[in-house]
Amino acid sequence: MKAPAIILIVLGLAAVFGWMTWQLIRMGGLTGLTGGSTTIGIMIAVGVIGTAVLTGVLMRLAFFSSRKGYDEVVKFEARETPTEDPTADDET
């Protein structure tokens, strides 16, 4: 990516997160968001952080697996199966 595109993306994300923070403060913080229960706010924060950590770990494993070659296509060799001759007579 070129520098102007990166700058625009960073400024856009900063604007979005700034607006979200302003709205959260205007509502009364996590207490206003959860109806006055601090416990629910803590559980929401732990859930968001836990999800982010789990996502990071799974992405790290996916990249590790790809770089080590564990994601290569498996090639199977076909076994030759004995075929019966349909024209052969059975012993009768």
| pLDDT score of 53 | 96
- Tens place of pLDDT per residue across the chain (92 aa): 688 899 999 999 999 999 988 887 887 776 666 777 778 878 888 999 999 999 999 999 999 988 888 777 777 787 777 677 666 665 65
- CA pair distance 13, 19, nearest whole angstrom: 10
What are all long-range contacts of 39-47, with beta carbons under 8 Å and residues at least 24 apart? none
- CA pair distance 48, 24, nearest whole angstrom: 16
Amino acid at position 12, single letter: G
- pTM, whole model, 2 decimals? 0.48
- CA pair distance 12, 9, nearest whole angstrom: 5
